[in-house]
Structure 1
Amino acid sequence: MMLNEETAIASGALPVAEFRDHLRLGTGFADLGAEDAALEAYLRAAIAAIEGRTSKVLISRDYTLTLAYWRTAESQPLPIAPVSAVASVTLRDRAGAGTVVEAEHYRLIADLSRPRIEPISGLLPSIATGGTVEIAFTAGFGAAWGDLPVDLAQAVFLLAAQYYENRLDGGITGEAMPFGVMALIERWRTVRVLGGYGGARG
């Protein structure tokens, strides 16, 4: 299984001004732009860390999941949530030639914990021996910061604030998350589904 992030979070979607207020920083300094760039970096790092712990995508982005085998011929879990749309399913043979599966042959089950694609009827299409399937989809709570659940947004601010406070001690590190952050994200944590094991071969 290989999951690729195809699009990044736009700078405009990050709440730099709100985070500045959260830290109670002043404005009007000559180096405000440089400081805002640092605050944005802390927010991105906190988002990445929380997404890694929860398997939830906070700000919507496009992804491509590549598999050698279906999990089962009746259902293929997607490793992150929430998933809002599946853009395409493409079968590739050993040589890399692709065939797009018609959208009427599968559907998205947009479960918040374990989203998946399933066949409309019968089984998912066979993957050729030595080939792969590519699933292009969009995941995230929404395109804007205001689309996030309040507890996850607060967790990002708390963790980004820790990164900011430790900036003179080596900056962003692999230290354990603060208890308050863990408490906020606990209900969102899901055991990660490995989408490429077992299942139906072509």
Structure 2
Amino acid sequence: MWASVQVKTAGALPLDAADLRGRLRIDTAAEDTLLQDFLAAAASRIEGPDGVGIALMAQTWTLTIDAWAGEITLPGWPVTGVSEIRYLDADGATQALDHAAAFRLVAGTDPVRLVRKPGAALPATLGGRSVIEIDYTLGRADASAVDPGLVTAMALLAGHYYENREATVPAQVKELPMGVEHILARFTRGVVA
């Protein structure tokens, strides 16, 4: 399932360098660029199909499937909507589907599903693999709506990267902070790449 999902447009970060500086008790803004890089690295460990299968802030993912189905699972959390469904018609030309007429989004489930509406006709597609692409939106529109545990995990990871800039530390090897794994375990969605 995760191999068929890609992040189409990444979201903003719920924390910025100034927020992280405050959490790490750093007095100067001299390393803000570095802190921002560490925040981006922490977000990539958490978000998307290569992370734990969630989106922190609003973004778009694309699911690629081989054929229409009566029910289509949209991997990830929190799914907020479907923006576009494209398919290759029988001649191999890309077409857009009126997804609102063909499917309804069942958002009260985890994972969220697209369910075919009764009597909705679906067009013929080109035979083969990856002939249908579904763009869907996930994440929170506002940083204040992101779960505080996820923000804390992101800050812990970025702080770890800041304090441990090499793969190992001489005389002492440190792993990711235990709290990060504990927090992320609550949010992991299925088997992720």
Question: Aligned equivalents of 2:178 and 2:120: distance in 1?
Answer: 45
Contact conserved, 1:79 with 1:192, CA < 8 A, in 2?
no
Alignment match, 2:101? 104
Q: Which runs of 5+ in 1 are unaligned?
A: 195-202
Post-superposition offset of 1:112: 6.1
Alignment match, 2:163? 165
User: What are the superposed Cα offsets for residues 77-108 of structure 1, whole Å, 9 maximum, x if unpaired?
Assistant: 11212111101112213654122222211011
Give TM-score scaled by structure 1 length. Answer: 0.77
Task: Report matched runs for 1:50-199 at 5 Å.
Answer: 50-51=46-47, 52-70=50-68, 73-93=69-89, 96-102=92-98, 103-111=100-108, 113-122=110-119, 125=122, 127-130=125-128, 132-140=131-139, 142-167=140-165, 169-170=166-167, 177-192=176-191
Indicate the percent of aligned positions where both proteins have the same amino acid. Answer: 32
Contact conserved, 1:76 with 1:118, CA < 8 A, in 2?
yes
Question: Aligned equivalents of 1:139 and 1:42: distance in 2?
Answer: 23
Give TM-score scaled by structure 2 length. Answer: 0.81
Question: Aligned equivalents of 2:141 and 2:108: distance in 1?
Answer: 19
Q: Kindly tell me the number of residue pairs found equivalent between the two proteins.
A: 181
Question: Aligned equivalents of 1:54 and 1:4: distance in 2?
Answer: 13
1:2/1:94 Cα in 2 relative to 1: closer, same or farther (>3 Å)? Answer: farther
SS in 2 for 1:81: coil
Matched, 1:5 2:4: no
Question: Aligned equivalents of 2:34 and 2:74: distance in 1?
Answer: 33
Q: Which runs of 5+ in 2 are unaligned?
A: 169-173
Q: Which amino acid aligns with 2:161?
A: Y
Contact conserved, 1:78 with 1:193, CA < 8 A, in 2?
no
Contact conserved, 2:42 with 2:154, CA < 8 A, in 1?
yes
Match of 1:42 among 16, 38, 43: 38
Alignment match, 1:24? 25
Question: Aligned equivalents of 2:53 and 2:142: distance in 1?
Answer: 19
What is the RMSD computed on CA atoms of the aligned residues?
A: 2.7
